[in-house]
Amino acid sequence: MKSTETLTHPLDLATALERSDEGVFLGHTAAGYSNMVGPFGGLTAATLLRAVLDDPRRVGDPLSITVNFAGPIADGPFTIDADPVRTNRTTQHWMLTLRQHGAVATTATVVSGLRRQTWTDTEISPPTVPAADSVPVTELPEFPSWLRNYEMRFIEGTGPVSPGASEQPTSTTTLWVRDTPARTLDFLALTSLGDVFFPRVMVRRGAFVPASTVSLTTYFHAGSEALTAQADRPILATARAQHFGDGFFDQTAQLWSDTGEPLAISHQLVYFKD
């Protein structure tokens, strides 16, 4: 049985789905996770992942998710079709489509699989930062509303939310972050946390700039046990862009446990207006 925390947490209420048929789920947007236009992308990704997590045909833990934001999602109901297109001995491949008012708004692919013990090594390192409890919680603006669902402790790269923000020579942002109210980490939360960064162009320019994620991929490097062990403590998150130009830029993010274990890596392609 799910815990009371999970049943009543805003993230779980916002991603709640009703199964109407095999592979068909009904959902509704959540006002508390609204972005400048439509819902917060991290919540949309988590909702699509939940369709797989809630499907009794699923095999193993999520290994990756790619979400392509094909069009705007309006406030109101939507339908998700989830199809396990192939199941192998170790991996299972899913295709998902979110439809609203008869049109495709978002598509996604999910790979789940059975993790097993193997040789392990990590070639990246978390940034050197002060402990989360020594970094003050950042006061965030009231808009967009999805920000109120997260406790953020910025170490660098606050971008447009910083008083007197100005252009910066680098797009790097590093912060401690967790859901608020605090919630035990799982794949739903980790998926949404991978998208909590302001668009990198806003950090570079030091101001709000029209921008929207086109495609988001997250690779999960931790299994269920590691996420449960993190409990509700803040995770370390860092992101940067590599190139801006011709109306698009990329973003790479790393999410770490508070003990320095890699949890997930995400990559984005983002559209922006200058």
Smallest CA-to-CA distance from 220 within 119, 68, 113, 146 is with 113
CATH number at residue 225: 2.40.160.210
Closest-CA residue to 126 (of 79, 61, 174): 174
Instruction: Please tell me the predicted confidence (pLDDT) of residue 1.
Output: 34
CA torsion through residues 129, 131, 135, 139, sign: positive
**Model pTM greater than 0.85?**
yes
**In a 3-state reduction of DSSP, which class is residue 243?**
coil
182 domain-assigned: yes
Is residue 34, in this structure, part of any structural domain at all?
A: yes
N-term to C-term CA, the chain: 49
- Short-list 248, 252, 247, CA closest to 267: 252
- Whether residue 252 is contained in a domain is answered as yes
Taking the chain (274 residues) in runs of 10, the rounded mean pLDDT of each run is 62 97 97 93 98 98 98 96 98 98 97 96 97 96 93 93 85 98 98 97 92 97 97 98 98 98 98 92
CA 67, 143, 31: angle at the middle one, nearest 5? 60
Tell me whether residue 265 is in a domain.
yes
Q: Is residue 128 part of a domain?
A: no
| Within-domain flag for 124 | no
What's the burial of 259, exposed, middle or buried (CB within 10 Å: 0-12/13-18/19+)?
exposed
Q: What total of structural domains would you count in the chain?
A: 1
Between the alpha carbon of residue 31 and those of residues 77, 124, 145, 190, 257, the distances in Å are 12, 37, 8, 20, 29
The answer to the question of residue 126 being in a domain is: no
Is 129 within the bounds of a domain?
Answer: no
Q: Containing domain of residue 143, as a range?
A: 4-114+135-272
Q: ∠ at Cα 15 (216, 88), nearest 5°?
A: 60
H or E stretch including 10? helix 10-14
Q: Which residues contact 203 (CB under 8 A, 6 or more apart)?
A: 157, 158, 159, 160, 168, 171, 172, 173
DSSP, collapsed to helix, strand or coil, labels residue 200 as helix
